[in-house]
Chain A
Amino acid sequence: MAKLHVSTTINGEPQEFLCDANQSLLDVLRGPLGLTGSKEGCGSGDCGACTVTVDGRLVCSCLMLAPEAEGCEIATIEGMAQGDQLHPLQQKFLEFGALQCGICTPGFLMSAKALLERNQNPTETEVRYWLAGNLCRCTGYDKIIRAVLETAADMREAV
Chain B
Amino acid sequence: MKCRLRAKTGRYQAMPGMERTAITIMMDIQYFAPRTLDDAVRAFAAASDGARILAGGTDLLVQMRAGTVSPGTIVDIKKIPEMTAIEEIAGGGFRIGAAVPGAVLREHPKLSKVWPGVVEAANLIGSTQIQGRATTGGNLCNGSPAGDSVPAMVAAGAIVTIQGPNGRRELPVEAVPKGPGRLNLTPGEIVVGFTLPPRPKGSSDAYLRMIPRTEMDIAVVGCGVSLTLDKGTCTAARVGLGAVAPTVLLVEAAAKALIGSKLDGWALEKAAVACSAACRPIDDKRGTIAYRTKIASVLLKRTAAIAAERAGRM
Contact = CB atoms under 8 A, between A and B. Distances in A.
Contacts, number: 93
A105 interface: no
A24 B103 contact: no
Interface in B71-88: 74, 76, 78
Interface string A38-80: 0010011110100100000111101111011010000000000
A131 B215 CA distance: 11
B101 to A, nearest CB: 8
Nearest to A131: B128
Nearest to B213: A132
Interface stretch (B29-37, B190-198, B285-293, B297-305): B29-37
A16 interface: no
B11 A20 contact: no
A124 to B, nearest CB: 14
Interface in A99-125: 111, 114
Nearest to A3: B1
B215 A132 contact: yes
Contacts of B11: 40, 43
A4 interface: yes
A59 B129 contact: yes
Interface string A116-154: 000000000000011111100000000000000000000
A64 B132 CA distance: 11
Contacts of A129: 215
Nearest to A40: B11
A51 B129 contact: yes
A51 B103 CA distance: 16
B33 A44 contact: no
Contact of A132 (B9, B78, B127): B127
A58 B58 contact: no
B264 interface: no
Nearest to B9: A43
A22 interface: yes
Interface residues of B, number: 32
B199 interface: no
Contact of A45 (B3, B8, B31, B58): B58
A1 interface: yes
Nearest to A41: B11
Nearest to B127: A133
Nearest to A4: B31
Nearest to A128: B215
A94 interface: no
Most buried by A among B28, B58, B74, B127: B127
B243 interface: no
B5 interface: yes
A33 interface: no
A64 B129 CA distance: 11
Contact of B5 (A4, A22, A27, A65): A22
A21 B129 contact: no
Contact of A68 (B28, B64, B78, B128): B78
B3 A22 contact: yes
B128 A1 contact: no
A58 B128 contact: yes
A135 to B, nearest CB: 9
Nearest to B3: A22
B28 A63 contact: no
A60 B129 contact: yes
A59 B215 contact: no
A45 B138 CA distance: 16
A91 B133 CA distance: 30
A21 B126 CA distance: 25
Contacts of B126: 45, 133
A63 B162 CA distance: 26
Most buried by A among B29, B66, B128, B130: B128
Ranked nearest first, the 4 interchain pairs of A and B with the lowest CB-CB distance are A133-B127, A21-B31, A57-B132, A1-B1
7 contacts: A22-B64, A27-B8, A48-B129, A64-B133, A132-B127, A132-B215, A133-B128
Interface of A: 1, 4, 20-22, 24, 27, 40, 43-46, 48, 51, 57-60, 62-65, 67-68, 70, 111, 114, 129-134
